[in-house]
Amino acid sequence: MVDGREEFSLWVGCGSSVDYDTAKEGDPPPPKESIVWHCFAEAELTLWQRFVKRLDATSALEKLDRDLREILFGEPAIQIIEVRDHAT
């Protein structure tokens, strides 16, 4: 991805969560309707880009996040649950 004059990677992370407190070895997988997927957009910058060059990937990351939301919200089979980032 090129933002202005500097290159960096943008990617989308996705993963599902499992209830390890109640799951036992040999249990069948949960039905697909009860699996919760987490998706997020991320910018990958080197330490040099972050701290020395102070590269800001905010605008590119915001665009990727908007595109991701448009795709996910546009699929009627997907039920969206908004989760706030607890780190901020």
Beta bridge partners of residue 37, listed in sequence order: 16
Q: What's the pLDDT at 29?
A: 81
**pLDDT range class, residue 1, cuts 50, 70, 90:** very low
Report how far residue 86's alpha carbon sits from residue 11's, in angstroms, rounded to the nearest whole number. Answer: 21
Residue 12 lies in a domain: yes
Q: Is the pLDDT of residue 2 over 60?
A: no
pLDDT single digits (tens) 25-77: 888 887 877 788 889 999 988 888 877 777 788 899 999 999 999 999 999 98
Q: What's the pLDDT at 56?
A: 81
Residue 74 lies in a domain: yes
Q: What's the pLDDT at 69?
A: 92
Count of domains forming the chain? 1
Residue 7 lies in a domain: yes
For tokens 């599902």, name the residue: 16
Q: Domain range spanning residue 87? A: 1-20+35-88
